């Protein structure tokens, strides 16, 4: 997996320019897209809140931010982008394409 000689780390988003905005914030999730494969997400609930309800709120916030990003990137309206995101969300809920797996405790990965 990560850290083997010759492997390259996943490309991270550069958020250095937003350090003021992120001051005091805690990262609770990272996500990657595998071409032709599943999304890979690392989630640390302890950094968000003890109640999963907060994760639901955070995900909807992410969807709305995603709509704004898609609208800007591909020249569509935010409403259209959000509608398509919700369509994808509901399609995945109805027929999951991936099964989440739990990672072993820190330090136990090969």
pLDDT in tens, 75-101: 999 999 999 999 999 999 999 998 888
**CB neighbour list of residue 74: distance below 8 Å, 6 or more residues apart:** 81
User: Does 7 reside within a domain?
Assistant: no
How much is the pTM? 0.79
Q: Which residue has the higher pLDDT, 63 or 40?
A: 63
User: Does 110 reside within a domain?
Assistant: no
Return the pLDDT at 8.
65
pLDDT in tens, 2-49: 444 455 667 889 999 999 999 999 999 999 988 988 888 999 999 999
Return the pLDDT at 62.
96
CATH number at residue 82: 3.30.2370.10
**CB neighbour list of residue 39: distance below 8 Å, 6 or more residues apart:** 31, 32, 33, 98
Q: Which range of residues forms the domain containing residue 30?
A: 16-94
User: What are the tokens at 66?
Assistant: 């995603």
């Amino acid at each position: 997996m990560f850290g083997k000689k010759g492997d390259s780390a996943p490309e991270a988003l550069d958020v250095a320019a937003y350090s003021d905005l992120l001051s005091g914030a805690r990262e609770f999730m990272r996500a990657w897209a595998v071409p032709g494969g599943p999304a890979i997400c690392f989630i640390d609930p302890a950094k968000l809140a003890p109640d999963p309800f907060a994760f639901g709120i955070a995900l909807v916030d992410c969807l709305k931010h995603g709509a704004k990003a898609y609208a800007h990137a591909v020249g569509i309206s935010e409403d259209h982008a959000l509608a398509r995101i919700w369509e994808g969300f509901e399609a995945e809920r109805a027929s999951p394409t991936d099964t989440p797996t739990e990672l072993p405790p820190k330090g136990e990965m090969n």
